[in-house]
A and B are shown apart, each in its own frame.
Chain A
Amino acid sequence: MTDLQDLLRATAAEGSNTVDLAEDAVANRIRHRRTRSQRLTVVGTALVAAAVIAGTTWAVHPGDGHPPTASGPSAAAVPPRIVTSDYAGPSGMEALLVATLTADANGCVRAQAGQSEVTLVWPRGYTVRGDSQSFEILDAIGKVVARSGVRISIGGGGADRFQNTWTGRECATGGRLWMVGGISARR
Chain B
Amino acid sequence: MADWEPAFRALLASRGGALRSYAYLLTGDASTAGDLVQEALTRVFSRRRIGGDVNELEAYVRRAMLNQYIDSRRRLRRWNATRHLLVDVPHHDDDRLAVADEVRRALATLSPKQRACVVLRYYEDLPVTEIAGELGCAEGTVKRHLADARAKLATQLGVTEESTP
Chain A residues with a Cβ under 8 A of chain B: 1-5, 7-23, 25-27, 29-31, 33-34, 37, 87-89, 92-94, 160, 163, 165
Contact = CB atoms under 8 A, between A and B. Distances in A.
A85 to B, nearest CB: 10
Contacts of B157: 2, 4, 7
A12 B24 CA distance: 6
Interface of B: 2, 4-5, 8-9, 12, 16-17, 19-25, 28, 30, 33-34, 37-38, 41-43, 45-48, 64, 67-68, 70-71, 74-75, 96-97, 99-100, 103-104, 107, 118-119, 122-123, 136, 150, 153, 157-160, 163-164
4 closest A-B pairs (Cβ-Cβ)? A12-B21, A18-B30, A14-B100, A33-B46
Contacts of B46: 30, 33-34, 37, 94
A60 B163 CA distance: 75
Contacts of A25: 38
A87 B75 CA distance: 13
Contacts, number: 130
Question: Chain B's interface: helix, strand, loop or mixed, by majority?
Answer: helix
A8 B100 contact: no
A2 B158 contact: yes
B38 A26 contact: yes
Contacts of B107: 11
Contact of A9 (B41, B70, B123, B150): B123
B17 to A, nearest CB: 7
Given A22-B38, A31-B2, 5 more contacts: A3-B163, A4-B164, A8-B123, A16-B21, A26-B41
